[in-house]
Amino acid sequence: MTVIIETRIGWCDVARVANGEALALSPSAWGRVESASRIVERIVETGVRAYGINTGVGALSDTVVDRNSQSRLSRNIVLSHACGVGALLAPREVRAIIAAQIANFAHGHSGVRTEILRYLTAFLDHDCIPDVPSKGSAGYLTHNAHTALVLIGAGSAKVNGKPLKGGEALSAIGLTPLVLRAKEGLSLVNGTACATGLASVALSRALHVLDWADAVAALTLEAAGCQMAAFDEAVLAMRPSRGIAEVGASLRRRLAGSGLVAAALGKRTQDALSLRSVPHAHGAARDVFANASEVVDRELASVTDNPAVSGSPADPVVSSEAHAVAPALAQACDSLAIAIAQISAMSERRMDRLVNPLVSGLPPFLASDAGSNSGFMIAQYTAAALSNENRRLAAPASTDGGLTSGLQEDFLAHPTAAANKLLAVIDNAEYIVAIELMAAAQAHDFLGPTASRATGTDAIQRTARKVVSNYGDDRPLAGDMEALRTLIRTEAPPDVI
């Protein structure tokens, strides 16, 4: 499948490209790119003063650059802005950033040549993944610069997984280094493509986590003998929320016909909050997810280059603005990180109720031979540690502030940091939900002879048992955690039949 850019694309499209699909531009999109390129050419010819085209950048915006030096300015911007450090981004994250950058250029307000987009789409087509360090962007600059390095034959990349220098990578996919023209260096490091691409990947992964959190919670609720009255449609409707209604309906479907739930009816007046408020916490996360999705789609629909070019070659217009700043995107990523951190914390609490003999009614720590076996005692430690790390990661990046570029950039929204932090929270959440699934499956092994499972939860149990077997202190649990985390990360939970 190929994602086609007509006027705009959404986060789902970026996520598809990140996962390996191709990206192409429609004839009208190519026309917009060509028109904007001609506008920049006209500005260069006339010498009209324009930020980043014939001036320096940042605090050097009042320094005029002569025509003969404008290509060198573009190259130097790329070289000087490639200041990233730390571990490299994963290939799908780099693909997402490239897709978002192509989408931004395709609006037709950046002024880069069509060759720039042809090279970037060739990277996607031929699995040429620039080496992009994960740290260094207060806003958006360094990540983009490391991709741009490869366009000019510098930097490094992996082609079909093989590490190569930038020039070698270009040669391997049939290209030669580009000589950048006026404004192209600035456009290549500019805009919010980095944060938008990362956020698109995060949304795709977050949706998986949310779906699995609902499914695994149902399995745990059944093992705990939950009181279903709290999830009645009419009861949940007293607190209007699309997310609460959606999660409540999912729980009712998955638990319909459960013998275990029927056997527990009336045993307690009400369940503990980690059980009773699943629709509220999971539903809140879904509401936040819906808002974050809208924000990322709006970002992809926006021109995020500074300056933006418009008008026509005969009457060019250059607009210096702040569209490359993305407070809304940073706040959306921060909010979703908080939501995912909260539902993963609740998952850990539910898991603890399954292993804790004081409240579970099950063998201590779900051990097959308590005493000589520790069962899932220490697995709960791991879940607690990851939950605590998520609490720390949930501190907002969007309020960090900071001063750069000699007071010219005296406000920073930190969308890239917020997106990276969100991805880290999701990493931990996948493990935590996997540990709950592991414990819930073990609990159901003990409960099997007691009463029947619901059809919906039985499908979850069987899916888990295809991946890991019952645990008897006969192997390291880390392998089971990794296997279930991979399941959660790569597959959707089974549908309710």
What does each of the 497 residues of the chain score in pLDDT, given as a tens digit?
899 999 999 999 999 999 999 999 999 999 999 999 999 888 887 777 766 677 766 655 566 666 666 788 889 989 999 999 999 999 999 999 999 999 999 999 999 999 999 999 999 999 999 999 999 877 668 899 999 999 999 999 999 999 999 999 999 999 999 999 988 999 999 899 999 999 999 999 999 999 999 999 999 999 999 999 999 999 999 999 999 999 999 999 999 999 999 999 998 999 999 999 999 999 999 999 999 999 999 999 999 988 899 999 888 888 888 888 899 999 999 999 999 999 999 999 999 999 999 999 999 999 988 788 999 999 999 999 999 999 999 999 888 776 665 555 665 778 999 999 999 999 999 999 999 999 999 999 999 889 999 999 999 999 999 999 999 999 999 999 999 999 999 999 998 76
The four Cα atoms 282, 283, 288, 294 give a dihedral, to 10 degrees, of: 120
What pLDDT does residue 62 have? 60
Separation CA 258–CA 88 (nearest Å): 47
CATH number of 199-490: 1.20.200.10
Residues 6+ away with beta carbon under 8 Å from 482: none
Alpha helices in 19-69 (DSSP H): 27-46
Q: How far apart are CA 368 and CA 240, in angstroms?
A: 44
End-to-end, the C-alpha distance of the chain in Å comes to 29
Judged by DSSP in three states, 191 sits in: coil
CA-to-CA distance for 54 and 47, rounded, in angstroms?
8
Which region holds residue 58: left if phi is over 0, alpha if psi is between -120 and 50, else beta?
left
Structure tokens at 347: 């998952």
pLDDT at 230: 96
Distance between CA 358 and CA 388 in Å, rounded?
23
Is the distance from CB of 182 to CB of 74 less than 8 angstroms?
A: yes
Domain 2-190 in CATH 1.10.275.10:
yes
Give the DSSP H/E element, type plus range, for residue 223: helix 193-223
Q: Residue 427, Cβ neighbours under 10 Å: how many?
A: 17
Domain boundaries, the chain: 2-190, 199-490
DSSP at 158: E
pTM of the entire structure? 0.94
In whole angstroms, how far apart are CA 166 and each of 18, 22, 181, 363? 21, 22, 19, 58
